[in-house]
Amino acid sequence: MALSDLIPSIFILFMLIIYPFFTSTSTTNRRAIHLPLTRTLCGSNSTAVRNHLRSRLLSLRMPLYDDLALDGYYTAHIMIGTPPKEFALVVDTGSTVTFVPCSTCQHCGSHHQDLKFHPELSTTYEPIICDIDCTCDNDGVLCIYDRQYADMSNSSGVLGTDVISFSNQIGLAPQRAIFGCENGETGSLFSLSADGIMGLGRGDLSIVDQLVDRGVISDSFSLCYGGMDIGGGAMVLGGVSPPKDMIFTHSNVINSSFYNVELKEFHVAGKPLSLDPYVFDGKDGRAVLDSGTTFAFFPEAAFIEFKQAMIKELHSLRQIPGPDPHRNDICFSDAGSDISELSKYFPTLDMVFERGQKLSLFPENYLFRHPEVHGGYCLGIFQNGKDSSTLLGAIVVRNTFVTYDRENQQIGFWKTNCSEVWERLNATGAPTPGPSTLEIPKPSALLPPATNPTEASPYVTIGPKVGLITFYMFFNVTHSIIQPHIEELVQNMAEELDLHASQVQIINFTSVGNESLIGWTISPAGSDGYISGTTARSIISRLAEHHIHLPEIFGSYQFLKWKAGPPLKRTCWQKHHTTVLFSMIIVAVVLGLAVSATWYIWGRKQQTVVPYKNFSCRKLRSSAVIN
């Protein structure tokens, strides 16, 4: 018997050995996925606590998203309408109107991360009818708004009211508020990834003014922006209990509609610039604090002095061209990539207010990374053209808890790690005993913050290890368009998330009118029973902040609810199946060879020996037959 005749027998023997392991594994991995989509109250949910909170002015805690370096702004997520529709809005203290793109908008950008607002689909939406208190449309029927911003971009549309839901961290019911349903936008607004703007300035249309007028919050709010390379942060609508070392400066509400501060001096490395004490006042009377502006802008005289002082102070670094040839960026190299080491190369700056109060600016408060040079940094303070105004943008208040105490006409500054503030505020539960105030928790560490942006993301509270990650995405294209390209979609998602295609699966595909709802799971790679917390945070962050770029055929998407399950419980076989399989193959081959050899030897012994017959005998027998 040849060895090739025994191969089928060896294969059958091998399959009989390993079949039970495969059947048990497939049964173990078969599970139902349940994703909770209900909204819950964080902290205590007893009736007594709820009633007690309703009887008081509240402080609404909300996480902030995005990053100043990557996006140029920070956003807050709110829900509008019934059923609620989520929007990511730029937090802007320099404007009053809150607006989102309307379904009727023919001149809105296609890069916004969420779908447009459909007034006709919200059962609680009401247009504001034209009257003497508003600007009316050409037909004299509806109230409209038209706003131009500092960069000459423009937004216009109609005004309406609907219920707006915030982060709901302490059980606040949705509040009816006025907002803009945008019908047209130009300039930077057209290419913005965020959906619109949340106006926090002073004015009747401001979200803050509306909540204050309804008696929901006290006349105050606070912002805290994450540091360089981290982003995120927190926003508190309502009062806070300020730390003892918070620096306050007067904010004049009479001479200016903006949030302003009385900036009298500016120091570089402890040395004051030789400036007129009124140089920062400008046409608005004072320096303006504007969270919707990325950088800081000084009047010409102040900027020239600042530039000369910085170049003199940084003589040990090499000055290099900036990334934008159309701007006179002031950039330096050879400072390394570790932001915790920047203070070794760059000086501390100080803003000095009217009563001598001093706010220190660390390197992350006035620098941004050079996008083309490793270890290169550029000054984030520019000359404001020939304009005499001083504008202090978001970069100046990175890792600074800023309280806009409108009731007492003052603004407070407190240095802290803003990327930790959201979780710490959320952990404090209900407000502290004083009505309308919220205690600001002490940070675990002051500057410099951690350099890993995903570790401190304010909305991703994930442990060191997770199992299946389940989430839903809403696409603005129909089921029939996506269906033929479903494998391509899965492959693209895997590539964008730096995962193997086998880890990404679609568990639900539902048509919702002209749009599609898709449920996904991401599973651990190979035999691993878990996904590391760092990887999980990165996945959720990239999805939530719309850093996933899919082919145009899939349109735009909205990232919905997500859930990270516990690490999968692996059996001994699942943990070591590769080693076991290899060992079983070796054993099967050895057994097969042994059986084959035994069979071959036994067969040889059983063969019958044929007697030898010589030629002469056969010849004689033949002759006898012939005769």
Mean pLDDT in residue range 391-408: 95
Q: What is the pLDDT of residue 514?
A: 67
Structural contact between residues 364 and 448, judged by C-beta atoms closer than 8 angstroms = yes
Distance CA 582, CA 16 (A): 15
| Rounded average pLDDT over 134-159 | 93
Q: Mean of the pLDDT values across residues 454-470?
A: 60
CA dist list (Å): 525 to 471, 504, 508, 565: 18, 10, 21, 15
Q: Identify the pLDDT of residue 563.
A: 81
Q: Which fold has domain 226-427?
A: Cathepsin D, subunit A; domain 1 (2.40.70)
Q: Check residue 448 and give its pLDDT.
A: 34
Tell me what the mean pLDDT of segment 364-385 comes to.
94
Q: Classify the phi-psi angles of 373: left when phi > 0, otherwise alpha if psi is within -120 to 50, otherwise beta.
A: beta
Cβ neighbours for 233, distance < 8 A, ≥ 6 positions apart: 63, 64, 74, 223, 224, 225, 226, 418, 419, 421, 422, 458
- Going from N- to C-terminal start, the domains of the chain cover 3-19+578-603, 53-217, 226-427, 460-564
Calpha distance 405→555 (Å, rounded): 42
The residue count of the chain comes to 627
Integer Cα distance of 164 and 144 in angstroms? 19
pLDDT at 453 over 80: no
pLDDT given at position 136: 95
Q: Give the lowest-confidence range in 69-83, 144-158, 164-178, 208-222.
A: 164-178
Q: What is the distance between the alpha carbons of residues 154 and 148, in angstroms, rounded to a whole number?
A: 4
* pLDDT at residue 30 tops 50: no
> In terms of DSSP bridges, do strands 75-80 and 154-165 run parallel, antiparallel, or are they unpaired?
antiparallel
Where are the strands (E) in 166-220, listed by range? 175-186, 196-199
Q: What are phi and psi of 505, to 5 degrees?
A: -135, 145
The strand pairing partners of 77, in sequence order, are 88
Peptide bond into 448 cis (omega under 30): yes
> What is the average per-residue pLDDT within 496-505?
90
Domains 226-427 and 460-564 share a fold: no
pTM over 0.95: no
In this structure, CATH architecture of domain 460-564: 2-Layer Sandwich (3.30)
Confidence of residue 379 (pLDDT cuts 50, 70, 90): very high
- Amino acid letter for position 580: V
Residues facing 504 on adjacent strands: 522
The encoded tokens of residue 395 equal: 């970069």
Question: Rounded to the nearest 5 degrees, what angle is found at the Cα of 313, between the Cα atoms of 312 and 317?
Answer: 95
Torsion, CA 331, CA 333, CA 338, CA 342, rounded to 10: -60
Greater confidence (50 vs 491) lies with 491
* Residue type at position 171: G
Higher pLDDT, 31 or 617: 617
Q: What is the pLDDT of residue 626?
A: 39
Read off the pLDDT of residues 169-221 as tens digits, 9 standing for 90 and up. 545 678 999 999 999 999 999 988 899 999 999 999 999 999 999 898 999 99
Q: Indicate the CATH number of 53-217 among 3.40.109.10, 2.60.120.10, 2.40.70.10, 1.20.1250.20.
A: 2.40.70.10
Task: Quickly state the pLDDT bin for 434 (edges 50, 70, 90).
Answer: very low
Q: What is the pLDDT of residue 436?
A: 42
> In this structure, what DSSP letter does residue 191 have?
G
Which whole-number Å values give the CA distances from 511 to 471, 477, 480, 483, 546, in the listed order?
A: 17, 9, 9, 10, 22
Contact present, 486 and 553 (Cβ < 8 Å): no
Q: Give the pair of three-digit tokens for residue 465.
A: 């290890």
Q: What is the mean pLDDT of residues 369-398?
A: 93
Do 574 and 28 contact (CB within 8 A), yes or no?
yes
What is the structure's pLDDT at 542? 81
